[in-house]
Amino acid sequence: MTLKKLATTLCCFSTLALFYLWGSIPAEAITRGIMAEAIVDALAIPRWTGEERFSDVPENHPAFSAIETARSYGIIYPGERFHPDLEATRIEALYFAFKAMGWSHEASLMGKLNFEENNEIPEYMVSYLSLGKTCVPSAPQKFLTEPKGNLTDDDLKSLVDWLLQCRQSIVWDEIFHGKYTSLRIHREKIGTPPRSWAIFVKEAPDKNSALLLQEKISLQGLPAFIANTECAFAVFVGPYSNYVKAWETLSAMPSEFVGNVVPYSEQGSNALFWAAICSIDGYYPSIITAPSQGRSLASLSNIAKKAKAEGGINGGFFASKKPIGTLLIDGEPVSPSYTSRSAIGWSDKGEAFFGNGEFRIVLRKENWIAPVPLLNTMPPQNSLALFSSEAGPLARPLPQDSQAFLLTNGHVSELNGISKAKRIVPSGSLLLAARGTGIQVVRSLLEKGNPLSVEVEWRDPVMQKSKFALQGGPMLLKDGELQSKNEGFSVNLRNQKHPRTLVGSNGKKLWWVVIDGRDPWHSNGVTLMEAARLADNLGISTLLNLDGGGSSELIWKDYIINSIPGGKERPLPYGIFFGSEEGE
């Protein structure tokens, strides 16, 4: 949570506390302290047993243990005066209970996507009331109809009974509709509070950059460390045994080190969060690259904002700012294929294809063809390379001994002088670079006259009609059958729980799914086998794994829907977007 949001919350909670100070507390009243003790006990939250003390509550107070425990996990925010002897209200109890279950993210989404006006309770608690109405089992009725009323003994008993039910099963499943897409959000089970916390500072693209940042932070007297993620090196401060210490450390850090307090512990949890976006009939997604918007990498939200997209999700794997494997955009090849990995493609009518993602590029003039072995890579001697506008400007000028040809709608023009020296490929065109015998090959085809076409030839015929395509892997389900090929992916990627991004089909629609992970309180992630089982339960018969981990992200109506590990968006080379001006 940012310090700005925290200050707003503390202000609201303190205002509410001052309101209650004006009244006297009946002897039979249920106080906040009693409420906290009952909720912590009902959820079997591990008690804080450390030596550090966080609250202004005396150690001999009956609710001291519960309040210290709540503070140690951030259920009660650092610096907030809890006033344990004030009379509790039903909405305060519901708010405390959802936070203790690890459902703050879901409440935040309700506040963004379906906010309901309610002038009777503090604004920051309204979304928790909405969540209590829509989860299954729903919160006790009186908490929903009379939320501002004081908590009674009967209320507390009904709340505890509800929490005991939630320990067995609690589900929230909502569908939101947009102009071009529908969004489904699902959360199940209560979470397990983290054993430790850390401050996530930044991901560095290479180890040397991470070491420099670690050293810079360490010079401030802070315990910085590096964790190797899927495609980067993450720099953290910590870890700490409680939320308060992590928060206080972050608050005191120099402003140049912007960070987030995040869970940092590996422990079991059944908590699971996923979100899925589907196009409405008649619309299909597009692929938009960061280079097409002037950046080598960009956050999903920034690409979506520039494209004015209703929704977006991350795509396939990447490394060193480049996609790994097939990328086809509006029929234009952008990234070469990776051997024997699966892909998804779709036509401009929305028809989807799942198959082997390997392809080759050929120049064709009637019955004569010439393979083009390289894509967006400088050609060696006696070779050909194709450059696309979607991949951005050329990294460096073409070699002096090369010849450049611009292909636009089948028409070929030979570039010379200044035109050849330009590193930008015009939108809607392809640049063909030839060297040595490659020049002779192109000119021999041109002698037969224009037009000269560039064609994508797929190894798998099922992919032939693809207008857009991207490679991922491995394929998890195909026509309802579990797939066993690992496609070269590691055991760790397949068998450990991670955040996941997936795309699947139920025969009618494509589901683009993000599953959160690496947070035992919110969502612990899934193995690929568990992802396949989840998809099968949803009626998805064909399922392809895409890039997961810290890349997993879903945007809808300018909101980040999932909880990204570390709380910061990872810059990406491209994404899949829905309802954008560039895609319809």
pLDDT, residue 410, reads: 85
Measure CA 205 to chain center.
18
Sheet holding 542-545, edge to edge: 171-177, 181-188, 272-279, 510-515, 500-505, 542-545, 475-478, 481-482
pLDDT band at 320; cut points 50, 70, 90: confident
Average pLDDT over residues 438-447: 94
Q: Are strands 233-240 and 272-279 parallel, antiparallel or unpaired?
A: unpaired
Average pLDDT over residues 43-60: 92
pLDDT band at 231; cut points 50, 70, 90: confident
Share of the chain above pLDDT 70, in %: 94
pLDDT, residue 7, reads: 45
Q: What is 427-451 written as a DSSP string?
A: TT-EEEEEETHHHHHHHHHHTT-S-
Q: Collect all residues with Cβ–Cβ distance below 8 Å to 576 and sequence separation of at least 6.
A: 285, 286, 287, 312, 313, 314, 315, 470, 512
73-92 in b/e form (b: 16+ CB < 10 A) is bbbbbbebebbbebbbbbbb
Q: Collect all residues with Cβ–Cβ distance below 8 Å to 112 and sequence separation of at least 6.
A: 559
Average pLDDT over residues 577-582: 82
CA distance 199 to 239: 8
* CA pseudo-torsion sign 271, 344, 309, 336: positive
Residue 25: pLDDT over 60:
no
Average pLDDT over residues 367-376: 96
CA distance 577 to 288: 7
Find the distance separating the first CA and the last CA of the chain, reported in whole Å. Answer: 36
| Interval 406-439: pLDDT, tens | 999 889 999 887 677 788 899 999 999 999 999 9
pLDDT, residue 420, reads: 75
Give the pTM: 0.93
CA distance 198 to 216: 17
| Interval 533-571: pLDDT, tens | 999 999 999 999 999 999 999 999 999 999 999 999 999
pLDDT, residue 10, reads: 43
Residue 140: pLDDT over 80:
yes
> Cβ-count burial of 141 within 10 angstroms (0-12 exposed, 13-18 middle, 19+ buried)?
exposed
Share of the chain above pLDDT 90, in %: 84
Average pLDDT over residues 147-163: 97
Give the CA angle between residues 465, 471, 475 to the nearest 5°: 100
Q: At what angle do helices 32-42 and 90-101 cross, to 10 degrees?
A: 30
pLDDT, residue 98, reads: 99
Q: Collect all residues with Cβ–Cβ distance below 8 Å to 82 and sequence separation of at least 6.
A: 32, 36, 55, 56, 57, 67, 70, 76
pLDDT band at 70; cut points 50, 70, 90: very high
* CB of 237 closer than 8 Å to CB of 199: yes
pLDDT band at 581; cut points 50, 70, 90: low
Residue 401: pLDDT over 90:
yes
* CB of 521 closer than 8 Å to CB of 193: yes
pLDDT, residue 105, reads: 98
CA distance 583 to 287: 8
Residue 9: pLDDT over 90:
no
CA distance 337 to 356: 10
Neighbours of 255 (CB within 10 A): 5
Residue 57: pLDDT over 60:
yes
HSE of 531, CA atoms in CB hemisphere, 13 A:
37
- Give the three-class secondary structure for 578: strand
Residue 325: pLDDT over 50:
yes
DSSP at 6: H
* CB of 122 closer than 8 Å to CB of 101: no
Measure CA 241 to chain center.
26
Residue 1: pLDDT over 70:
no
Average predicted confidence (pLDDT) for the chain: 93
Q: Please indicate whether residue 258 or residue 125 has the higher confidence score (pLDDT).
A: 125
pLDDT, residue 86, reads: 96
Which has the closest alpha carbon to 361: 447, 291, 449, 431?
A: 431
DSSP at 223: -
Measure CA 192 to chain center.
21
CA distance 547 to 549: 7
Q: Please indicate whether residue 56 or residue 375 has the higher confidence score (pLDDT).
A: 375
pLDDT, residue 279, reads: 95
Domains and CATH numbers, the chain: 3-169 (no CATH), 197-263 (3.30.70), 272-358+462-578 (no CATH), 359-458 (no CATH)
* CB of 423 closer than 8 Å to CB of 367: no
Which has the closest alpha carbon to 192: 102, 258, 311?
A: 102
pLDDT, residue 17, reads: 42
pLDDT, residue 306, reads: 97
Neighbours of 373 (CB within 10 A): 15
pLDDT, residue 423, reads: 83
Which has the closest alpha carbon to 257: 236, 243, 233, 229?
A: 236
Average pLDDT over residues 342-369: 96
pLDDT band at 268; cut points 50, 70, 90: confident
Residue 13: pLDDT over 80:
no
Which has the closest alpha carbon to 474: 431, 539, 529, 524?
A: 529
> Cβ-count burial of 554 within 10 angstroms (0-12 exposed, 13-18 middle, 19+ buried)?
buried
Average pLDDT over residues 439-444: 95
